């Protein structure tokens, strides 16, 4: 029997429950011409997740090692990421009420905070005077408290925030898939954090 | 001679301040965001000119005593537009500070993060209304 060629497309990251065995298919997409071999490779147990929530990483070399041990005579070709970062989570710890409470607390913090910062901004830049001058320029009337300008301005402020963060209402599926600045920022933050953890894990392994 | 010097100083400081303003505005990425929303990539040059024109005209108005005779309806439209820009401006700043991503990540409420934007919206409007209706009038 000639050695079969197996392709492994290593995933960059995976999320697994605690106390489970990590199978090759959790870490990589497997391809082999022979379906039976593919199944076998997919179900090779590479490692076990710890009993509590943690981060761990498995390098592509470790995956090859384990597969080679159990199924010799395979020619393994690795493509994709070099390491897999595994987020070990305890199953279904999400508590709906707690989550709602957390959201409400942050909502209140951001609500009051953004209100305060906008007032800080106004007093800092002497917005009162600015509005008075603009109103005089526009209408020729001196009015120290031009409600027509300031109230519409306040409403416009909200519109501006919505425009910046939310996409324009559109039925197009493509438009719906496009992220806003907040989603991109969240994604970038997650990615940076994972990179950092991976780097940290690799460092502690070497040291 | 005096005037030549004054013009020179004025031009030079204008160059620096204008350049700094343009750099700061580009940093906030408001125009790219609006272009992405409206799919008007071709008009980017026009938007840049709008910025430049706005800066020039408003700075001239600021230094002179020009005044118009606009009706209140026009004033309201003006206020709305000014507010919209400031709203985008301040959210661009808030976004740079990364508050919502960090908070929602730490407290594991990633899915609800999009609702938190409304906290910013209502907070800004409420704070602004409070300022103009109560704060300015001395409580």
Residue A167 has what pLDDT? 63
Contact (CB, 8 A) for A189 and B101: yes
**Total domains, chain A:** 2
Contact B109 A102 (CB under 8 A): yes
- Asked if the Cβ–Cβ distance from A119 to B136 is below 8 Å, we say no
Spatial distance between the Cα atoms of A118 and A157, rounded to a whole number of angstroms: 10
User: Reduced to 3 states, what is the DSSP secondary structure of residue B8?
Assistant: helix
Tell me, yes or no, whether A80 and A114 share the same domain: no
A79 with A19, same domain?
yes
pLDDT value for A92 = 61
Residues A78 and A175 in one domain: no
Q: Of A45, A67, A89, which residue is a domain's last?
A: A89
Are A25 and A70 in the same domain? Answer: yes
pLDDT at B127: 92
pLDDT of A109 reads 86
* Helix A181-206, helix B99-106: angle, nearest 10: 60
3-class secondary structure, A169 = coil
A198 with A177, same domain? yes
From A35, A62, A89, give the residue that closes a domain.
Answer: A89
pLDDT in tens, chain A (207 residues): 556 788 888 888 888 888 888 888 888 888 888 888 888 888 888 888 888 888 888 888 888 888 888 888 888 888 888 888 888 887 765 677 888 888 888 888 888 988 888 888 888 988 888 888 888 888 888 888 888 888 999 999 888 888 888 766 667 777 777 777 777 877 888 888 888 888 888 877 765
- What pairing do the DSSP bridges indicate for beta strands A28-32 and A4-10? antiparallel
What does the radius of gyration of chain B's CA atoms come to, in whole angstroms? 20
Query: Does one domain contain both A49 and A107?
Result: no
Q: Do A139 and B75 touch (CB under 8 A)?
A: yes
Same domain, A78 and A137: no
pLDDT at B125 over 90: yes
Across the interface, whether the CB atoms of B30 and A164 are under 8 A apart is answered: yes
pLDDT of B94 reads 67
Question: Helix crossing, A147-165 with A181-206: angle to 10°?
Answer: 50
Most distant CA pair in chain B, distance: 67
* Confidence at residue A170, expressed as pLDDT on a 0 to 100 scale: 66
Contacts of B37 in chain A (CB under 8 A): 163, 167-168
By the CB < 8 Å criterion, does A119 face chain B? yes
Find the CB nearest A164 among B87, B101, B109: B87
Do A81 and A103 belong together in one domain? no
Interface ipTM: 0.76
At residue B95, the pLDDT reads 63
- Residue B37: per-residue pLDDT: 80
Average pLDDT value for chain B: 85
User: What pLDDT score was predicted for residue B139?
Assistant: 62
Q: Are residues A77 and A107 in the same domain?
A: no
At B17 the pLDDT is 92
**Of A79-83, B82-86, B98-102, where does mean pLDDT reach its minimum?**
B98-102
Q: Which residue range is the domain that position A28 belongs to?
A: 4-89
Interface subset of A 120-139, CB within 8 angstroms of B: 121-122, 127-128, 133-139
**Same-domain status, A85 and A110:** no
Chain B contact for A186 (CB, 8 A cutoff): yes
Distance from CA of A59 to the nearest CA of B (A): 26
Distance CA A135, CA A147 (A): 10
Question: Containing H/E element for A68?
Answer: helix A60-70
Hey, what's the torsion of the CAs at A167, A168, A172, A176, to 10 degrees? 10
Determine the 3-state secondary structure of B44 from DSSP: helix
Instruction: Give percent of chain B above pLDDT 90.
Output: 24
Interface test with A, best of B36, B72, B121 (most A CBs within 10 A): B121
Looking at residue A12, which CATH number applies to its domain? 2.60.480.10
Q: What 3 state SS string does A70-133 have?
A: HCCCEEEEEEECCEEEEEEECCCCCCHHHHHHHHHHHHHHHHHHHHHHHHHHHHHHCHHHHHHH
């Amino acid at each position: 029997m000639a050695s079969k060629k197996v392709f492994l497309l290593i995933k960059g990251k995976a999320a697994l429950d605690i106390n489970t065995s990590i199978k090759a298919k959790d870490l990589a997409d497997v391809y082999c011409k022979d379906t039976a071999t593919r199944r076998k490779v997919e179900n090779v147990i590479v490692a076990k997740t710890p009993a509590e929530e943690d981060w761990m990483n498995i390098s592509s070399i470790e995956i090859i090692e384990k597969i080679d041990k159990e199924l010799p005579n395979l020619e393994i070709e690795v493509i994709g990421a070099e390491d897999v970062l595994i987020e070990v989570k305890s199953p279904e710890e999400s508590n709906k009420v707690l989550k709602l409470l957390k959201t409400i607390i942050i909502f209140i913090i951001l609500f009051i905070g953004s209100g305060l910062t906008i007032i800080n901004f106004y007093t800092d830049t002497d917005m009162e005077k600015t509005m008075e001058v603009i109103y005089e320029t526009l209408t020729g009337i001196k009015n120290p408290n031009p409600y027509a300008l300031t109230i519409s301005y306040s409403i416009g402020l909200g519109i501006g925030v919505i425009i910046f963060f939310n996409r324009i209402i559109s039925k197009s599926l493509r438009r719906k898939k496009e992220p806003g600045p907040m989603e991109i920022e969240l994604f970038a933050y997650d990615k940076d954090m994972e990179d950092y953890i991976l780097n940290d894990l690799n460092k502690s392994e070497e040291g | 001679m005096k005037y030549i010097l004054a013009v020179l100083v004025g031009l030079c400081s204008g160059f620096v301040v204008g350049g700094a303003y343009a750099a700061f505005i580009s940093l906030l990425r408001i125009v790219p965001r609006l272009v992405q929303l409206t799919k008007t990539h071709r008009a980017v040059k026009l938007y840049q000119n709008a910025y430049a024109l706005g800066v020039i005209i408003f700075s001239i108005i600021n230094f002179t005593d020009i005044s118009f005779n606009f009706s209140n309806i026009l004033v309201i439209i003006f206020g709305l537009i000014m507010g919209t820009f400031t709203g985008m401006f301040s959210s661009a700043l808030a976004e740079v500070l990364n508050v919502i991503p960090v908070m929602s990540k730490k407290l594991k409420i990633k899915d609800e993060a999009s609702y938190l934007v409304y906290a910013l919206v209502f907070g800004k409007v409420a704070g602004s209304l409070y300022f103009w209706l109560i704060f300015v009038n001395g409580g």
